[in-house]
Amino acid sequence: MRDDPATHGPIRLVDVVVAGHRGDVETALRAVGSDDPRLREVALGALARAGALEAATVERALRDPDPAVRRRACDLAAMFQLSGPLLATVRAALFDPDALVVEAACWALGESPSAPVDELMSTARSHADARAREAAVAAIGSIGDPRGLPAVLDALGDRPTVRRRAVVALAAFDGEEVRAALRRGAADRDWQVREVAEILLDAGGTTLE
């Protein structure tokens, strides 16, 4: 769908932003079909703000040729109960060539009880970009599925940003293996890792007792 100047005139970015605040769904829907990827990206947020964003629109945006649009679609996918085609498309985003799309997909899946734990584990262990690994670890911790614990433990040997996320994720699990990992974290060379580990050890947590 392209803008028809004779009928509507060209869509400006400011028009799309305002449309979301005014509930102007027609303008936002026109922008979703624009040739301009920036308009398509902002239109998704405008539809969400107007309460008119549909899962099918997010699903299509997850296949957009522009990575910024795909990232925004992942962010907004968390608004929906992930199931069926939408869940399948978000899962596919874990293999996106853009690392920031993968990161956003992890965050979205972390909000879903039906998230693919095995695929998140694989991302946490092997993705080339630390941001994607960190987000996958966070998602595993958010889900709290015991199957994901080995990947969280492995992440404690990663770079500092990932280790910090991993030690936080340990709060979702229990057992002596977790307590041992926290004790190791309390001696980590990164002060933020040490601080979180010490807090969890001192507090015991709801699942560490």
The pTM of the whole model exceeds 0.85: yes
Domain-embedded: residue 209: no
Distance in angstroms (rounded) separating the CA atoms of residues 209 and 207? 6
Mean per-residue pLDDT, 135-142: 97
Domains: count for the chain: 3
Amino acid, single-letter form, for residue 194: R
Dump pLDDT digits (tens) for 119-137: 999 999 999 999 999 999 9
Domain final position from 97, 115, 133: 115
Are both 70 and 133 inside the same structural domain?
no
Q: 25 and 82: one domain? A: no
Residue 154 belongs to a domain: yes
CB 155 within 8 A of CB 137: yes
Q: Are residues 74 and 41 in the same domain?
A: no
CATH number of domain containing 167: 1.25.10.10
Say if residue 10 is in the same domain as residue 59: no
Q: Tell me if 208 is assigned to some domain.
A: no
Task: Render pLDDT for 183-202 as a digit per residue (tens, 0 to 9).
Answer: 999 999 999 999 999 999 98
Domain limits for position 1 = 1-53
- 74/9 same-domain check: no
**Is residue 207 in a domain?**
no
Q: Are residues 153 and 104 in the same domain?
A: no
What is the Cα–Cα distance from 47 to 43, expressed in whole angstroms?
6
For residues 144 and 160, membership in a common domain is answered with: yes
Residue 1 has a pLDDT of: 38
- CA separation for the pair 193, 140 (Å, rounded): 18
